[in-house]
Amino acid sequence: MDRVLLSYGNGGKENAKLINDVFVKTFGDIARYSFEDSGFFCGGDYAISTDSYTITPIFFPGGDIGKLSICGSCNDVAMGGAKPLYLAASFIIEEGFLISDLKKIAQSMKDEMSKNDIVLLSADTKVVQKGGINGIFINTTAIGEIKYKNISAKNLQNDDVIILNAPIGSHGACIYCLRNDINLSNDLKSDCASLWELVSVLIENNITIHAMRDATRGGIAALLNEWANASSKDICIDQDSILIPDSVRGVCEILGIEPYLLANEGVCAFAIPKSDANKALELLHNTTLGRNSRIIGSVLENTLGGKVVLKNTLGSKIYLDYPEGEILPRIC
């Protein structure tokens, strides 16, 4: 590995190798939460997460780079069991960028923060020469107060059920169509959304949660493989239990890839003890973002070496591996 390739940002196998070989190896002794979406401080009472957004196009059905930057960072702390409260933002803007577009982006960020009672604590702007970047990049850092401790990808237990809250693949399929001038179907738009609503309803009703993760880059394939590796467990999921919109299936046929690899921005998975599963589903079904929640699989004893197994409609089983290659760069 002499140079960084575009595929190293795919959220899959190459991305994991880059992180492990460079950043974990360098910062390992001081990076306490290398394999989590957020870090914890002040005795574990607060969570923090930072992320950068480079998506193209910057406006898309269901959102824009501004909304995405708020939802993305806030969802990362939410998946750590924290209610998002504060945010810092940094804008890198290309010379010549339209002020009218910048205002639209800022307004969408404010709307999403106001909807979730989030306070903007700090912000910064930088302008680079034309051609230095493509339009605008945004970095956001979210801070949240922990409402449920010890949620971790390392905590999966045998017989946990895996619950998914929504159909998969809409964000990735939408962005692909826009980039390639494919006419969008009426219902195809990004699922970009803030997920704290789902987390809070489970916490408030005393549901035991071992792990949570939003399925962004690399889709549910990356998410489940990260869980299996971190916890040294096998995971088996049922293809028929995973909701995939017809419009997404159509795009996947064009791409020649599986929908499990496509990015999402409003989909998350929960690992919950089987004893709490029915109550959790009932609670999630009464939320806006969780009305389509369903059990898609379960956690098993490690007999395969920390693998994710997909059981298809015919009952046969295949490995669902980490995504590889340049699936869809600049997706978030």
Render pLDDT for 178-224 as a digit per residue (tens, 0 to 9): 988 887 666 799 999 999 999 999 999 999 999 999 999 999 999 99
Indicate the residue among 112, 128, 146 that finishes a domain: 146
Strands (E), 15-74: 39-41, 46-53, 59-60, 63-64
- Do 69 and 132 share a domain, yes or no? yes
Write out residues in the chain with pLDDT < 70, as ranges: 1, 10, 184-186, 326-327
Domain that holds residue 110: 32-146
CB 224 within 8 A of CB 230: no
What domain count does the chain have?
2
C-alpha to C-alpha distance for 185 and 172, rounded to whole angstroms:
14
End-to-end Cα spacing for the chain: 24
The CATH number that applies at residue 263 is 3.90.650.10
pTM for this entry: 0.94
- Do 167 and 122 share a domain, yes or no? no
For residue 11, being part of any structural domain is answered with no
pLDDT digits (tens, 9 = 90+) for 278-318: 999 999 999 999 999 999 999 999 999 999 999 988 889 99
Radius of gyration of the chain measured on its C-alpha atoms = 19
Indicate the residue among 92, 123, 146 that finishes a domain: 146
CB 180 within 8 A of CB 87: no
- Do 76 and 166 share a domain, yes or no? no
